[in-house]
Structure 1
Amino acid sequence: MADDQLDLVSRDPNGVNAHLGTLLFNDVLGEPDGTHSIDCVWKLSYTCFECWKGLCYKLLTLFCGICIAMEWGCEFAYIAFYHVWFITPCMKVCEINCGLCQKIYALVINCCIQPCTEACGGIFVHFKR
């Protein structure tokens, strides 16, 4: 399938909300042994739970889903904009400045400290056990 086509069968191919797919009646309601309602009440409760869970979800997505999707689209557009126009250039500035600091640090080490350590090493090289 091309990237620009919408898959209406597998709507969570990456398993982002896989934990919600297993939300069943028995995961929410359960009667322990010795405490049971009348069988017809239990069956009707199951039917009502499944019906209202599906109906409410569909109504909420109908009335709120498009607006919320627009908000999330704007949020991720803002994040992309912020990364492209602010964070990435700031990281490049840090990279350039750190590269300069690294060169200065290496220059100081090689010009000032290395000769001193080599001189000390030259003194101690003649000592033997």
Structure 2
Amino acid sequence: MADALDLINRDPNNINNHLQCQFEDVFAEPEGTHSIDCVWKLSYTCFTCWKGLCYKIYTILCGMCIAAGWGCQFAELSFYHIWFFTPCLKMCDINCGFLKLCYTKCIDCCIEPCCVACGMLFHQFKK
């Protein structure tokens, strides 16, 4: 499994495209309202460094525990689907198939002869 881990593209399915949080996505000075160039450059450096540093600290402190928790949640979800929900749906499918067969037999025996008789009665009326 570790062989297939892509360390370059860590969001290959674009799950978190909504998290665009580069400096340019957050800060913008409109034309006519510009700070001093050194302030803008230092703001960029501070934003980028602190965002990267804080994210790395958060992931070091919490990332593995959170991943373990989500792993347990998805394992539980898989367990319930494999061992409970899918067999229940299969049982329901089998029982509904049997009920459909019983219902069809009742309709064929009780209602169909009446419908055929009425159809034959009205069949005699011709233009």
TM above 0.5: yes
> Does 1 or 2 have the higher relative contact order (CA < 8 Å, sep 6+)?
2
CA distance in 2, matches of 1:104, 1:81: 34
Q: Which residue of 1 aligns with 2:8?
A: 9
CA distance in 2, matches of 1:24, 1:68: 24
1:86, CA displacement in angstroms? 1.1
1:124, CA displacement in angstroms? 0.6
Q: Secondary structure at the residue paired with 1:8?
A: coil
Q: Secondary structure at the residue paired with 2:18?
A: helix
Q: Which residue of 2 aligns with 1:30?
A: 28
Q: Which residue of 2 aligns with 1:60?
A: 58
Q: Which residue of 2 aligns with 1:105?
A: 103
1:31, CA displacement in angstroms? 1.6
Gaps of 5+ in 1: none
Name the aligned partner's letter for residue 14 of structure 1: N
1:23, CA displacement in angstroms? 2.6
Runs of 4+ in 1 over 6 A off after TM superposition: none
Q: Secondary structure at the residue paired with 1:19?
A: coil
Q: Does 1:124 align with 2:122?
A: yes
TM-score normalised by L of structure 2: 0.92
Q: Which residue of 1 aligns with 2:83?
A: 85
Task: State the superposition RMSD in angstroms.
Answer: 1.3
1:39, CA displacement in angstroms? 1.3
Superposed CA offset, 1:11-42 (max 9, x none): 2222222333x432121111222222211111
CA distance in 1, matches of 2:17, 2:33: 32
Report the identity percentage. Answer: 61
CA distance in 1, matches of 2:2, 2:118: 69
Give the 3 Å change call, closer, same or farther, for CA 105–4 of structure 1 in structure 2.
farther
Name the aligned partner's letter for residue 34 of structure 2: H
TM-score normalised by L of structure 1: 0.90
How many pairs does the alignment contain? 126
